[in-house]
A and B are shown apart, each in its own frame.
Chain A
Amino acid sequence: MSAQPDRGIDPRGPRFAAGITAVLLLAEVFLALIGARTAATILLAGLAALFAWGAFAGVRRHPFGVVFRRLVRPRLSPPAELEDAAPPTFAQGVGLLVTGVGLVLALVGVPLALELAGAAAFVAAFLNSAFGYCLGCQLYLLLVRAGLIRRAPVAVGP
């Protein structure tokens, strides 16, 4: 009932990965703006594939997560507390949705799709990396409120 994780991940891992993703998304927006549309499309497709990897295989198996565990975490002090892997995994799905829709729209010729999808995904990844803001958590709650995600009522306890 209460969301106590039985096993956790270092919360700095997803934020490290989001930082790399944010930089790559900025590069994608820049390429699209200066007219290097093929390069921007390939980069956005690559990022969408990475989001899919994180969403379906889990953030623990995401390449940037592996980089964090192998190269970064050994140099850091242990985390103050561990976090559940489910929220960042859900956030990867949100990233996949945004970049995937942008990619499809760009491929059918919708103007500004590369720029706007990249910018939207950048804002989410940047806020997550720099401030610890979890857009996926917010969207999940809005889906619950809208009645799109529902489970049987259970008794609440401490």
Chain B
Amino acid sequence: MADMPAWLAVTLIAALVAVATATGVLWRVRAGRVRIADPESVVTAALLGADAQLGERATLLQFSTEFCARCPGTHRVLAAAARDEDGVEHVDVDLTHRPDLARRFKVLQTPTVLLLDAGGAVRGRVGGAPRPAELRAALTAILNGADDVRTA
């Protein structure tokens, strides 16, 4: 390729930084929000494995891997939320051991959190580290039997 003048190179570099910044802002805006999931899809304890126990009223199902910067922090947030409510369980699944679950629930990023109601129906879904206040509001909505778990 022919050498380009410095001003053109600087323009291209600026465009590269701008595109990367726009990508990052878009990701930040969308990450961690509670979205409506398909309630037809139901999770059972048997699907997760012998030791898994779903909550009587709701379950926070976390999908993690070992190579996941935000998974340990998310684990703490969800474990605390489950502790504060009766009948709510937190289950953390390492997808390295269960790639079938990653495919079944179309998990494209870790952590991904599924919010299950008393019957195991997937009521909400969070891609990325959940925003704690929004997650607790969605959990409260499930516990109160609300139709829509979104608060925002």
Q: Which one, A65-73, A96-104, A118-126, is touching chain B?
A: A118-126
Give every chain B residue within 8 A of A123 (Cβ-Cβ). Answer: 16, 19-20, 23
Interface size range of chain B in the complex: 35 or more
Q: Which of B1-50 contact A (CB under 8 A)?
A: 1-6, 8-10, 12-13, 16-17, 19-21, 23-25, 27-28, 48-50
Q: Chain A 71-82, CB within 8 Å of chain B: the 1/0 string?
A: 000000000010
B51 with A155: CB separation less than 8 A: yes
A137 with B51: CB separation less than 8 A: no
Contact of B69 among A34, A87, A152, A155 (CB under 8 A): A87
A3 with B93: CB separation less than 8 A: no
B24 with A83: CB separation less than 8 A: no
Q: Which of A44-100 contact B (CB under 8 A)?
A: 81, 83-84, 86-88, 90
Distance between Cα atoms of A33 and B3 in the complex (Å): 6
A-B contact count (CB 8 A): 159
Contact of A112 with B1 at beta-carbon distance under 8 Å, contacts A145-B103, A147-B99, A157-B91 already known: yes
Interface size range of chain A in the complex: 35 or more
B72 with A141: CB separation less than 8 A: no
B66 with A86: CB separation less than 8 A: yes
B102 with A141: CB separation less than 8 A: yes
Contact of A141 with B92 at beta-carbon distance under 8 Å, contacts A5-B72, A84-B72 already known: no
B98 with A26: CB separation less than 8 A: no
A150 with B96: CB separation less than 8 A: yes
Q: Chain A 11-31, CB within 8 Å of chain B: the 1/0 string?
A: 100000000000000100110
Q: Chain A 115-155, CB within 8 Å of chain B: the 1/0 string?
A: 00001001100110011111011101110110101111111
Contact of A2 among B21, B64, B96, B108 (CB under 8 A): B64
Further contacts, 17 of them, CB under 8 A, given A26-B16, A141-B102, A144-B95: A3-B65, A3-B71, A3-B75, A33-B12, A34-B6, A81-B73, A81-B76, A84-B72, A86-B67, A130-B21, A133-B27, A134-B69, A137-B69, A138-B109, A140-B65, A156-B48, A158-B53
Residue contacts A-B, CB under 8 angstroms, 22 given: A2-B64, A3-B75, A3-B94, A29-B12, A30-B13, A33-B3, A34-B5, A35-B2, A131-B24, A131-B25, A136-B67, A138-B108, A141-B68, A141-B107, A144-B95, A145-B102, A147-B99, A153-B97, A154-B49, A156-B51, A156-B52, A158-B53
